[in-house]
Amino acid sequence: MGRVVLLALLLVLVALGGWWLLRSQPQALPRAMQSGPGQRASPARSQAQTREPSPPRTAKLEGSVRSEAGASIEGARVCAFQASSVAAEDEHEPRCTIADRDGAFAIDRLGAGRYDVEASADGFQPGAAAG
């Protein structure tokens, strides 16, 4: 599949990593919800403190598989292998999908961490990108 596919997969992985880092940044409370010395917290803040923990965040890996000439590769098998994890539960099994007629693919509900991606299709050499 060549360098073009590897570069495309690498760009997808870099974008996914940046999105994950920005998404996990703590956000400040709006000024109306902050309380100072001698002040009582607003009801909205009190309710926020008693909420149940949110479910683990997941990410989606999207991209396309193309030949060196730039043509879409329909039916390519694309697999994401967990390279490293920041979550308590590791995903040891690869997550795979099949590219559509435009060569597009998406693998969703990936746990936090870095993933290596491999793509293969009949008549083409396999391609890979490290996360």
pLDDT tens-digit readout, 1-51: 555 555 555 556 555 655 555 555 555 545 544 455 665 555 555 555 667
In-domain check, residue 36: no
The H-assigned helical ranges of 1-131 are 2-23, 43-49
Please give the pLDDT value at position 33.
46
The pTM for the full model equals 0.59
Q: State the burial class of residue 45 (Cβ atoms within 10 Å of its Cβ: 0-12, 13-18, 19+).
A: middle
Task: Write out the residue range of the structural domain in which residue 124 sits.
Answer: 2-21+58-129
In-domain check, residue 51: no
In terms of Cα–Cα distance, which of 108, 85, 105 is closest to 95? 108
In-domain check, residue 7: yes
**CATH label of the domain that carries residue 76:** 2.60.40.10
In-domain check, residue 31: no
Number of domains the chain contains:
1
- How many percent of the chain have pLDDT more than 70? 56
Give yes or no for a contact between 79 and 117, defined as CB atoms under 8 angstroms apart: yes
Q: Compute CA 1 distance to the chain's CA centroid, rounded to the nearest angstrom.
A: 23
pLDDT for 77-113, tens place per residue? Answer: 999 999 886 655 656 789 999 999 999 999 999 988 8
In-domain check, residue 122: yes
Q: Which tokens hold the place of 93?
A: 């099994």
In-domain check, residue 26: no
